[in-house]
Chain A
Amino acid sequence: MGDNRLMIKVTVNDRLYELQVDPELRLVDLLRDELGLTGTKEGCGKGECGACTIIMNGKTVNSCMVLAFQADGSEILTIEGMGDGEELHPIQEAFIRQGAVQCGYCTPGMVLSAKAILDKNPNPSEEEIRKGISGNLCRCTGYQKIVDAIKDAAEVMGGGGDER
């Protein structure tokens, strides 16, 4: 297999990696199996569940829907890059505070989708929040607490509470 490997450069959580990748390797496999970033989960491998969500060049993408070599030159944020060392990101704190974490398997993807929602609009309406997490399945919470957590985070982060 080794003969067809491609050289790529990717920045993951502010760290630059220069790597040889197999062309059939998916980005989710690169992150998990090769970089050991297992916070990114795989729930379906087909773009349906959002457990593998990462932020790539500022946009959420399903890392199971990207070949690793296609990520060449990109900047990636995974759950491990949220927060600041030991300090949790306000979104992560809000998820804990609001009880938005049950089994937790959807959580990394949800947190990143939440970040994308708040990056786009620091003061999102409930509808925007629901649309923003519509690519992330959660089988445990029923979503309400996740929506509450994102509203809570918006408030804490200075977006101001919006009761729309």
Chain B
Amino acid sequence: MKGNIVGHSVPKVDAKAKVTGKALYATDLYMEDMLYMQVLRAPYAHAVIRKIDLAQALAVPGIVRIITKEDLPGLKNHGLIFKDQPALVGIGEKVRFTGDTLAIVIGESNIQVRKAIKKIKVEYDKLEVITDPLRAMEEDAVTIHTAGNIVCTHKLDKGDIVRGFMEADLIVYNEFKTQHVEHITLQPDAGLATLEEDDTICIWAATQWLHDTRVDVAQAMGLPVEKIRIIQPAIGGAFGKREDIIAQLHLAIAVREVKRPVKTIYSREESIIATSKRHPMIFRFRTGVKKDGTLTAWEATVIGDTGAYASSGPAVVHKGLYHCTGPYDCPNVRGVAYTVYTNNTYAGAMRGFGATQTAFAYESQMDIIAEKLGINPIELRLKNAYQVGSTTPNGQKLYASVGVKETIIKAVEAFERLGGVIR
């Protein structure tokens, strides 16, 4: 049967709405009687909150309501993997990064809300701010969450690492570090919520996981799932960031309190301060290799900085470890990955989900090995590249569709076609 979809270039269903400016993103939703919401973020990256004084803020004309944790003692934490993130931090509780929320401010106009936020006074006791995951892992480091600073540990063991190193003619050790990366979805975070007659909370906001967001918002607020509806407007980019709850929970809390439609739009700065990042990771690789370039052993330690909250961290850092040899076959692999809390902005999913960071590390390692052995770096890669029958570090046998070698050859051809010279 011949169709007109598969094998054809098909215009996106919403392309016309997007080129005409008619597509509605969360930022573009307006309702009659709508209020604006902004939140007060933490004054310090790690501190115990002692007092939140709302008096002056409440006096700003147009302010309808300011909600703090004291209004919602039953509010539960949320989070994609572990429920470790509070939507509001109350008196006597800790803020763990500068994006934590102390108060939800709702008013008739955005300008008034912004003014009110500047007038809230917060008293707090500072704690040690940990920005380095290595410091977080030290015995005497202050604990960011009660269970300790190591969120979780993953291990990997394939073949016999000791024998692998014994077979090696050369052992190369290096440490690689990557940095935080911000997704910068072009649409800043935004959302609108309404309260229906039957008390159902409807939330329009960009999200990648409607169902997950729905369940998490419901459990945090102690509501049945049916009372939460998530509606997906057009999304101005996500790239993994929008797997996490961003404004949805604050909007739900706000709309339930004020019973009028509530809208929020983050400034770009706020998006950067308060939402997830690509994990910075530290990779320590010890690689054993024969004179001819055959890999014999690969030992890896991966430390991922997940910031103040776990988010997708355990899965992302774990992937970072599992991809530690990249597309190269090594019979003996051993590794450990630590997902670590710090007082940095929390890190979560972003394009590649941990594999991106690792690529920087293993490709650098391969180049260094090639240089030490005096082998052409492309040959070294082709020699070790996965093929049908190879086994990944976590024991997955590749039985079909393994295109690494062809990809490398084609990439080299393209590179040379464009005038590149391989030394």
Contact = CB atoms under 8 A, between A and B. Distances in A.
A104 B28 contact: no
A101 interface: yes
Contacts of A96: 11-12, 15-16, 19
Q: Is the interface of A mostly helix, strand, loop or mixed?
A: loop
Interface in A83-119: 83, 88, 92, 95-97, 99, 101-108, 111
A92 B23 CA distance: 14
B268 A45 contact: yes
Interface in B1-39: 9, 11-12, 14-25, 27-28, 30
Contacts of B235: 103
A95 B185 CA distance: 20
B52 to A, nearest CB: 28
Contacts of A106: 186
A26 B415 CA distance: 47
Interface in A33-62: 33, 36-46, 49, 51
A42 to B, nearest CB: 7
Contacts of A38: 21, 24, 27-28, 30
B186 A42 contact: no
Interface in B295-350: none
Interface of B: 9, 11-12, 14-25, 27-28, 30, 111, 183-188, 234-239, 265, 267-268
Contacts of B234: 103-104
Interface in A64-86: 78-80, 82-83
A41 B9 contact: no
Contact of B237 (A79, A83, A103, A108): A103
B24 A46 contact: no
Nearest to B112: A1
Nearest to B22: A39
Contacts, number: 103
Contacts of B187: 41, 43, 103, 105
Given A103-B235, A104-B234, A139-B237, A51 B186 contact: yes
Contacts of B183: 139
A157 interface: no
B21 A79 contact: yes
B113 to A, nearest CB: 14
A36 B184 CA distance: 26
A137 B234 CA distance: 18
Nearest to B111: A24
Nearest to B62: A1
- Pick the 10 closest A-B CB pairs, nearest first: A39-B21, A104-B18, A105-B236, A79-B21, A38-B28, A92-B19, A105-B186, A96-B15, A105-B187, A103-B237
Interface string A3-37: 00000000000000000000010000000110011
A37 B21 CA distance: 8
B20 A49 contact: no
A80 B238 CA distance: 25
A140 interface: yes
B117 to A, nearest CB: 17
Given A92-B20, A95-B19, 10 more contacts: A39-B22, A42-B265, A49-B186, A103-B234, A105-B186, A105-B187, A107-B18, A111-B19, A139-B183, A139-B239
A151 to B, nearest CB: 17
Contact of A104 (B23, B111, B184): B23
Contacts of A80: 20-21
A138 interface: yes
A103 B236 contact: yes
Contact of B25 (A24, A41, A111, A137): A41
A24 B236 CA distance: 27
A97 B11 contact: yes
Contacts of B17: 104
A41 B236 CA distance: 10
A80 B19 CA distance: 9
B185 A139 contact: yes
Nearest to B238: A103
Nearest to A38: B28
Contacts of B239: 139
A155 to B, nearest CB: 18
Contacts of A99: 9, 11-12
Nearest to B206: A103
A77 B390 CA distance: 59
16 contacts: A33-B30, A37-B21, A41-B25, A42-B27, A42-B188, A45-B268, A49-B186, A79-B20, A95-B15, A96-B16, A99-B9, A101-B12, A103-B186, A103-B187, A104-B14, A108-B19
Contacts of A140: 186, 237
A88 B16 contact: yes
A13 to B, nearest CB: 11
A43 B236 CA distance: 10
Contacts of A139: 183-186, 237, 239
A123 to B, nearest CB: 22
Interface string A148-161: 00000000000000
A44 B268 contact: yes
A105 B237 contact: yes
Nearest to A37: B21
Contact of A138 (B9, B22, B186, B267): B186
A46 B268 contact: yes
Contacts of B21: 37-40, 78-80, 107-108
